[in-house]
Structure 1
């Protein structure tokens, strides 16, 4: 199928370009070039000062590097495995896994393109965002929801799954909304906004991911086949984001940044716990998925 070949070529190109940015990002982990800078809010901020993230804050750069590391050892290998399985047998099951891995890469590419301070790889960010965005759209055009749902007869919509989706959707607001409310009440910028004009993670998680979770739950409750297509996307994304948060914290601690206990509980711990449950549900989902029919 021509569309299948186009999808594979788009994703391979996205992986190659992403690896350039990932390697450059990891090579930026150097603690000896920081400097102080007065930001647009009149605050003195410590800057990273080295490599790809030299114009990013000392607090944020380790987070970006932790994301790069997670993509290198977890997300990219998963995407490569998904491509291999999809090329070998273009079944709906393999397409669903490929779509979930692609969506995870898209989340990362959005964060890089809009969250990182302008740097030498800006054109790479534009290219990777475009490639993964249209790859995900192509995945949706190839998927056949009416064949996915019957293949998951051993993966029923249980109360546990419903509760998990509700908790996951609300947790994103619990993690980020208090910071925004406190900022609006005080009339000051977000406490860790530093040299940035907005906090992209808040926008993505509360504006896109959380509604996506509740839409998926609604479709599942209504026995709509699309619910079973969207579910693995958020399960895989949530699983990898939890791992990403761990590595982000590790790189921050390695850089000498102390993360307050309340932040660890409301941000790091929440995502790690959700990741563990998501991983378990993901395994159940794909184990209960019959191979189904091959793509034409």
Structure 2
């Protein structure tokens, strides 16, 4: 594998930095108390008041801590294990590693832009940068030309592609409902804005990440080489992201928040994503990411 060393350095630094950031979110507390704050829009917002996320709204801070648990105890160990299997450059390992790096990139891009400023801001910047370049260099290991030939022909590509398109549309409609409803009734600002400057998560999802998921599914549906790579990476990314979302729902439910119907929707989406990830990855032929597998030449070396 050509760039294994640089990917290793970037991935290890990502895991160490993310472990520090997540542990701080979980375990650091300054013993403060929640309080209410009137935003610039005249809305009363409950502020978490303690720990690293003391200046964030209570509901978002609780979700952030739940996300940190998934990052520290699931994503970081899996990233390191994934790196162990990456050295031989097998296509399965490369696509899986890219998918989990995508999770770290999105997580800390959101933390960097949405979280109220705290002492870890520069660490969020560092993790975002490390994971982005690790992701980009990992994807450069994949030879796109003839990539679909490295998958078995009985792959349920239309089923998997259709799922990715459906899921991205469903989440987009959910975000649009939050944004458009206040515009129609004249209140303009969704309640979720709270005391923040904007809807960062919804904005980045609608402009970047949901279109990427939709295009991934569409290209796979159309049997395009790039669709195989994008769909594999997106599915692994979604496995970790949806796990974090389920953890957030559980955390909210533990504080007495009504989480119906999402308590049924998100776990179902997670189970389906895990299933389709398994179906896709088990159909990847043995071979490296750099070598195109054709009828006349099959490269399966390390």
TM-score by length of 2: 0.89
Instruction: Indicate conservation of the 8 Å contact 2:161/2:231, yes or no.
Output: no
Q: CA deviation at 1:165?
A: 2.3
Q: CA deviation at 1:136?
A: 1.1
- Indicate the residue corresponding to 2:41 in structure 1: 41
Instruction: Indicate conservation of the 8 Å contact 1:245/1:268, yes or no.
Output: no
Gaps of 5+ in 2: 291-301
The counterpart of 1:270, out of the listed 265, 269, 274, is: 265
Q: CA deviation at 1:9?
A: 0.2
1:141-220 alignment runs, 5 A limit: 141-146=140-145, 148-185=147-184, 186-220=186-220
SS in 1 for 2:190: coil
CA spacing shift, 1:219–1:80, aligned 2, 3 Å: same
SS in 2 for 1:52: coil
Instruction: Indicate conservation of the 8 Å contact 1:239/1:274, yes or no.
Output: no
Q: CA deviation at 1:292?
A: 0.5
- Indicate the residue corresponding to 1:108 in structure 2: 107
Alpha-carbon distance between aligned partners in 2 of 1:2 and 1:227, rounded to the nearest angstrom: 23
Q: CA deviation at 1:155?
A: 5.0
SS in 1 for 2:192: coil
Instruction: Indicate conservation of the 8 Å contact 1:29/1:65, yes or no.
Output: no
Q: CA deviation at 1:158?
A: 4.3
Instruction: Indicate conservation of the 8 Å contact 1:149/1:228, yes or no.
Output: yes
Instruction: Indicate conservation of the 8 Å contact 1:171/1:270, yes or no.
Output: no
More helix by share: 1
The counterpart of 2:283, out of the listed 280, 284, 288, is: 288
Q: CA deviation at 1:147?
A: 5.6
- Indicate the residue corresponding to 1:10 in structure 2: 10
Deviations 1:224-243 (A, max 9, x none): 21111011121112222222
Tell me the matched-pair count: 290
TM-score by length of 1: 0.90
Greater displacement, 213-222 / 274-283: 213-222
SS in 1 for 2:79: helix
CA spacing shift, 1:120–1:149, aligned 2, 3 Å: same
Q: CA deviation at 1:50?
A: 0.8
- Indicate the residue corresponding to 2:95 in structure 1: 96
SS in 2 for 1:8: helix
SS in 1 for 2:3: helix
SS in 2 for 1:36: strand
Instruction: Indicate conservation of the 8 Å contact 1:92/1:148, yes or no.
Output: no
